Chains A and B, each alone.
Chain A
Amino acid sequence: MEKSTVFNNRLLPYMLLLPQLVITVVFFYWPASQAIWQSFLREDAFGLVSEFVGLENYQALFAQPEYYASMLTTIIFSSLVAALSLSIALLFATQADKSLKAAPAYKTLMIWPYAVAPAVAGVLWFFMFQPSLGMLARPLRGMGLDWNPLLNGNHAMMLVVMASVWKQISYNFLFFLAGLQSIPKSVIEASAIDGAGPMRRFWTIIFPLLSPTTFFLLVVNVVYVFFDTFGIIDAVTGGGPAGATTTMVYKVYADGRLGGDLGGSAAQSVVLMIIVIALTAIQFRYVERKVQY
């Protein structure tokens, strides 16, 4: 799509583009290319001399059991958060879509956690499940369960997942509700006349028609889990205990800052960049297909 009428100034368009291009080059392209370049270098212990080592950082990275552990953690974490937050949000959205008079009010009551910072969401959930003073941790311990997310990796993972799901439900709810409301009522009425009950209608009519929204949300949720949950993990567990909640993004941060291994951290950044670009490409393919629907 192009405009048919335009202005003919020579210099003006460049002046208009200048602020954004300068900021993009300085704070995006320059650091991104530095990350790629650094992933081929190794610095000495004092950060004074760096030498070109080719693919050694990558070889070292893929020889690390911890790296595979963080991949596995990321996969488990993403699948749990995406599956739970999508299905819970879909359940709430289908109920709100039943043309209840109160649906708009429920919408308002459901969407505001989107505005809560991930780190703050983490603190809220940590407060509830902190082993000694958490209001929900005490009953768990009372039942004889040795609940301690500070020491037990599985408990820590559960806590981080709960906080991440809690924060993401509102977003998914909003898009599912919009998706549901755009399904023509006549289709649903027709199947009701044919004698399909509510469950049958949901699984054979509504759910398939909702699939573009679901797929879009799936990609968005995976990207959310990759990047936005950093604050939750750092606030709740700091990647621990013993690396049980160290995701790939968290490891980039931890290795570069605490370990000071900038080359290794940069190599991890590059691997992540490739993953994100792949995810984005999938998303765009989907957007293109949606136009034909």
Chain B
Amino acid sequence: MVEHRPLTDFIAYAILTLGVFIVAFPVYLALIASTHDAATVVGGHMPATPGTQTLENYYRAIFVGGARTSREPVANMLINSFVSAIGIAVGKIFISILSAYAVVYFRFPFRKTAFWIIFITLMLPVEVRIYPTYKVVADLRLLDTYAGLILPLIASATGTLLFRQFFMTVPDELLEASRIDGAGPFRFFWDTLLPLSVTTMAALFVIQFIYGWNQYLWPLLITTQDSMQTIVIGIKKMLVATDELAEWQLAMATTVLAMLPPVAVVIFMQRLFVRGLVQTEK
């Protein structure tokens, strides 16, 4: 440190505390709103301290659903979100670790071509080809299915590039040693490469879980039945229903539930998260 003036330190703390306040305030309000009854929230004079309706609101949101709008209970949406987020994360890891293994550890005709075919997908997110993708999924009769929610979102190159980068750093001697021990491609992959890749896999899992959980446009288009809705879509539909008459306390309880899993992942697996974030952006 160059200089230590008490005033500079004080200003730094003040600015950072303000930052934390700005970041936390909207979520704090949502938490508070989820503990009051409907009238208090809609009245516009909501106190800044928690109310007494916490258990009832969350119970209703999770198991019963709204009264004015015949909405699905959130429990079901949470299951859908979990299934699709984990499906996207695991699916992407599975297909990309295999293809990266092929590209790095084998020589075969069209190797470069295959790599470029995968690589180009980086450039076009699903949003720009949304309706044609919808039509393909509809033609395959995958609307309102988990496969329809998952498969189109794992068609991207981030994972393949990440594993390729990691495999390149694995010393060649390891492969030579296991070949001397008589290991074929399956044994080398299973006994040597996979155990080494655990951290990379975990980092990718964290990033993809958050990505999958937070999807909006795609599930909005391809889920027509309420029973297949993810929680992020569910919140939006709760609010559209009646606007001013919307049950804000339930919507906010749902919002809190929708934030909880991915935020917990970021906070408790911070190291893996930062690692994944930095690596997938290269």
Q: How far is the CA of A286 from the CA of B216 in the complex (A)?
A: 31
> How many angstroms from the CA of A276 to the CA of B98 in the assembled complex?
28
Bound Cα distance A50, B127 (Å): 24
Q: Which residues of B contact A218 (CB under 8 A)?
A: none
Contact call B133/A17, Cβ cutoff below 8 A: no
Determine, out of B52-60, B61-69, B103-111, B194-202, the stretch whose residues face the partner at the interface: B103-111
For B, the interface residue count at a CB cutoff of 8 angstroms equals 104
Distance in angstroms from A142 CB to nearest chain B CB is: 11
Tell me whether B255 and A124 are in contact (CB under 8 A): yes
* Complex Cα–Cα for A73 and B224 (A): 30
Residues of chain B within 8 A (CB-CB) of A249 are: 127-128
Tell me which residues across on chain B come within 8 A of A3, comparing CB atoms: 104-105, 168, 172, 175
Query: Are B131 and A266 touching (Cβ within 8 A)?
Result: yes
CB distance B262 to A119 under 8 Å? no
- Bound Cα distance A106, B154 (Å): 33
Within 8 A of B (CB), among A119-140: 119-121, 123-128, 132-135, 138
Contact A166 B26 (CB under 8 A): yes
**Contact, CB under 8 Å: A96 / B106:** no
- Chain A, residues 1-20, CB within 8 Å of chain B (1/0): the string is 10111111110111011011
A134 to B152, CA, bound (A): 38
Q: Which of A13, A111, A216 contacts B270 (CB 8 A)?
A: A111
A119 near B46 with CB under 8 A, answer: no
Q: List 7 A-B contacts (CB under 8 A).
A: A12-B185, A17-B99, A23-B155, A106-B20, A115-B210, A117-B262, A252-B127
Chain A positions within 8 Å of B, measured between CB atoms, are: 1, 3-10, 12-14, 16-17, 19-21, 23-32, 34-35, 38, 88, 91-92, 95-96, 98-100, 102, 106, 108-121, 123-128, 132-135, 138, 166, 169-171, 174-175, 178, 188-189, 192, 198, 201, 216, 220, 227, 230-231, 234-235, 249, 252-253, 256-257, 262, 265-266, 269, 272-273, 276-277, 280, 287
Residues of chain B having any CB pair with chain A under 8 Å: 1-3, 8-9, 11-13, 15-16, 19-20, 22-24, 26-27, 29-30, 33, 41-44, 46, 94-96, 98-99, 101-108, 111, 114, 117-118, 121-125, 127-133, 135-137, 140, 151-152, 154-156, 160, 168, 172, 175-176, 179, 184-185, 188, 210, 213-217, 220-221, 232-233, 235-236, 239, 244, 248, 251-252, 255, 258-259, 262-263, 265-267, 270, 273-274, 277-278, 281-282
4 tightest A-B contacts by CB?
Answer: A117-B214, A31-B132, A231-B216, A34-B132
